[in-house]
């Protein structure tokens, strides 16, 4: 990291680079496959009845693991390292929410610029430095800083995320406040929120996460005015600088983080629309333009949720959901599972400590805990369901499959030859 002495910040302009040339991609794909591929998972993917050895069956959902956006982001990050072998390569935060993938990139010399200090660190970059923008994108102040430093930029932002940006920019242009269903601290939502401010920075947004928060906003909309101070306190960190609930809830447009639970997003959209209609009817207003919605759940998130619902029609005895604890789409798979059966959110196979003890992330306590379950114990037949979030590589899923069989006394070689 060297200071950009040859150009002033205002003269410098970032350079977007295409690193996906055919020869580079050939090398990169071999490397990516070596790090993340699994033959066991590839074979099991097409066996919807699962793999049964002795009294143990493991079933995978029809859709799981890496989505197209994550695959592309990883390919681009590997290609960047390949093309810029002699340059310093930086990554804004994490490429995706999976510690194994981020660890591999760090080992390859890709240096993370941690979220909170990214803007300060970017100040120190020069024109020879390379910055990778992760799959969730980055907020506009960060992108502006990178542009000013004149570095090479490899932007891996997923196309599905960019279509949300397009929608909220349109809301801002139309003078509509964006209501974003998402987590205000999530990188993608921060990036989307910054676009909701519009090109002139005058647009407004409000981020809501839960149905309780949605109901609170709906009550405020219906009543016309309420306790503004309490409102702003409740949503601290989740609204634009000029947002005023007394002014900016009159015309709204709803969007969402791409990885939310689809059923919850739809329910929020419905409640907000009803609240706007109730208010307008009470005021005798006839215009129908105060509410707009655009469903921005991405196809990959939806497919993984649908596939889990399908697996639950023929329920296994226990479900392991593999993925990074900070992964939004993975958390929602856990939420779906835990309503129906014993469900454990694990980051890797080593979380299966024994036939009884599982180290897992508890979504309610928001921490990793040990739990004890008797599901895997004994000689009775047991069916284990496994799914994984969009940021989980197949090698971690394979490790989990092998660990389940190993705990049940079945050797890995036998699993490989039987799959
Ligand atoms: S989860 Fe969806 S939005 Fe996120 S990277 Fe994958 S495809 Fe893109």
Tens-digit pLDDT profile for residues 22-36: 889 988 999 999 999
Alpha-carbon gap, residue 178 to 175, rounded angstroms: 9
Average pLDDT over residues 96-115: 91
**Residue 132 φ/ψ, nearest 5 degrees:** -100, 130
The domain locations on the chain are: 37-66+300-418, 68-157, 160-297
Q: Measured from the CB, is residue 69 less than 6 Å from ligand 1? A: yes
- Any idea which architecture 37-66+300-418 has in CATH? 3-Layer(aba) Sandwich (3.40)
Count of C-beta atoms within a 10 Å radius of residue 343? 20
Look up residue 110 and give its two tokens: 């890709």
Tens digit of pLDDT for each residue in 141-150?
999 999 999 9
What is the C-alpha separation between 72 and 401, in angstroms, rounded?
26
CA pair distance 328, 323, nearest whole angstrom: 10
Asked whether 280 lines ligand 1 (CB < 6 A), one says: no
**Ligand 1 near 158 CB (within 6 A):** yes
Distance in angstroms (rounded) separating the CA atoms of residues 140 and 198: 10
Q: How far is the CA of 264 from the centre of ligand 1 (A)?
A: 18
For a substitution probing ligand 1, which of 76, 158, 389 has the most ligand atoms within 8 Å of its CB?
158
Q: Which atom of ligand 1 is closest in space to residue 96's alpha carbon? A: 5
pLDDT higher than 50, residue 9: no
Q: What's the mean per-residue pLDDT of the chain?
A: 92
Q: Looking at the CA of residue 160, tell me the nearest atom of ligand 1.
A: 3
For residue 258, give the ligand 1 atom closest to its CA. 3
Contacts of 261 (CB under 8 A, 6+ apart): 305, 332, 335, 336
Q: Does the beta carbon of 333 lie inside 6 Å of ligand 1?
A: no
Q: What is the pLDDT of residues 243-268, one digit of tens each?
A: 999 999 999 999 999 999 989 999 99
Task: Give the β-pairing of 56-60 and 51-53.
Answer: antiparallel
Residue 266, classified by CB atoms within 10 Å of its CB into exposed (0-12), middle (13-18) or buried (19+), is: middle
Report the candidate in 308, 314, 388, 334 with the shortest Cα–Cα distance to residue 38: 388
Is the per-residue pLDDT at 405 higher than 80?
Answer: yes
Residue 300 CB less than 6 A away from ligand 1: yes
- 68-157 belongs to which CATH class? alpha beta
Is 343 touching ligand 1 by the criterion CB < 6 Å? no
Q: Is the CB of 208 under 6 A from ligand 1?
A: no
Q: How many C-beta atoms lie closer than 10 Å to residue 196's C-beta?
A: 27
Helices (H) and strands (E) in the chain, counts: 15, 16
Whether the CB of 76 sits within 6 Å of ligand 1 = no
Question: What burial letters (b/e) apply to 200-222, b meaning 16+ CB within 10 Å?
Answer: eeebbbbbbbeeebbebbbebbe
37-66+300-418 and 160-297 have identical folds: yes
Kindly report which listed range (43-57, 180-194, 330-344) carries the lowest average pLDDT score: 43-57
Model pLDDT, residue 128: 93
- State residue 5's pLDDT score: 43
Rounded distance between C-alpha atoms, residue 212 and residue 235, angstroms? 12
Q: Which residue from 247, 254, 248 is spatially nearest to 292, judged by alpha carbons?
A: 254
pLDDT digits (tens, 9 = 90+) for 110-153: 999 876 667 788 888 999 999 999 999 999 999 999 999 999 99
Q: Which residues are catalytic?
A: 188
pLDDT at 7 over 80: no
User: 3 C-alpha vs ligand 1 centroid, how far in Å?
Assistant: 34
Nearest CA to ligand 1 atom 5: 69
Q: pLDDT over 70 for what percent of the chain?
A: 96
Q: What per-residue confidence (pLDDT) applies to 116?
A: 62
Taking domain 160-297, whether its CATH number is 3.40.1010.20 is answered by yes
Separation of CA 257 and ligand 1 centre (Å): 10
Q: Please report the pLDDT score of residue 6 as a whole number.
A: 42
Atom of ligand 1 nearest to the CA of 158: 8
Decide: helix, strand or coil at residue 159.
helix
The more confidently predicted of residues 378 and 208 is: 208
């Amino acid at each position: 990291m060297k200071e950009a002495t040859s150009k002033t910040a205002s003269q410098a302009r970032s350079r977007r680079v295409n690193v996906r040339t055919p020869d580079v991609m050939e090398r990169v794909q071999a490397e990516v496959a070596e790090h993340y591929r699994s033959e066991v998972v590839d074979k099991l993917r097409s066996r919807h009845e699962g793999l049964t050895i002795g009294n143990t069956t493991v079933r995978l959902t029809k859709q799981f693991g890496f989505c197209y956006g994550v695959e592309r982001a990883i390919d681009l990050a590997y290609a960047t390292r390949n093309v810029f072998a002699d340059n310093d390569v930086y990554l804004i935060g994490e490429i995706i929410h999976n510690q194994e993938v981020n660890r591999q990139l760090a080992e390859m010399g890709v240096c993370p610029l941690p979220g909170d200090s990214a803007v300060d660190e970017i100040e120190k970059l020069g024109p020879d430095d390379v910055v990778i923008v992760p799959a969730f994108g980055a907020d506009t102040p960060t992108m502006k800083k990178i542009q000013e430093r004149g570095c090479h930029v490899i932007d891996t932002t997923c196309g599905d995320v960019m279509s949300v940006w397009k929608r909220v920019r349109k809301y801002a242009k139309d003078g509509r406040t964006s209501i974003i269903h998402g987590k205000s601290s999530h990188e993608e939502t921060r990036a989307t929120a910054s676009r909701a401010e519009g090109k002139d920075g005058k647009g407004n947004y409000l981020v809501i996460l839960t149905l309780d928060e949605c109901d609170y906003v709906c009550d405020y909309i219906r009543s016309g005015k309420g306790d503004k101070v309490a409102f702003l306190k409740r949503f601290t960190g989740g609204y634009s600088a000029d947002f005023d609930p007394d002014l900016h809830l009159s015309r709204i447009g709803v969007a969402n983080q791409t990885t939310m639970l689809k059923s919850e997003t739809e329910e929020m959209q419905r409640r907000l629309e009803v609240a706007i209609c109730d208010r307008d009817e009470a005021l005798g207003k006839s215009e129908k333009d105060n509410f707009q919605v655009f469903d921005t759940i991405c196809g990959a998130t939806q497919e993984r949720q649908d596939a889990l619902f399908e697996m639950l029609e023929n329920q296994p005895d226990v479900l392991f959901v593999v993925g990074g604890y900070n992964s939004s789409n993975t958390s929602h798979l856990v939420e779906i599972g835990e309503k129906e059966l014993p469900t454990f959110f694990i980051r890797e196979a080593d979380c299966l400590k024994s036939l009884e003890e599982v180290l897992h992330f508890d979504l309610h306590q928001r921490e990793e805990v040990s739990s004890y379950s008797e599901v895997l114990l004994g000689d009775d037949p047991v069916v284990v369901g496994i799914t994984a979030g969009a940021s989980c590589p197949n090698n971690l899923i394979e490790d989990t499959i092998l660990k389940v069989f190993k705990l049940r006394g079945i050797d890995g070689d036998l699993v490989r030859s039987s799959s």
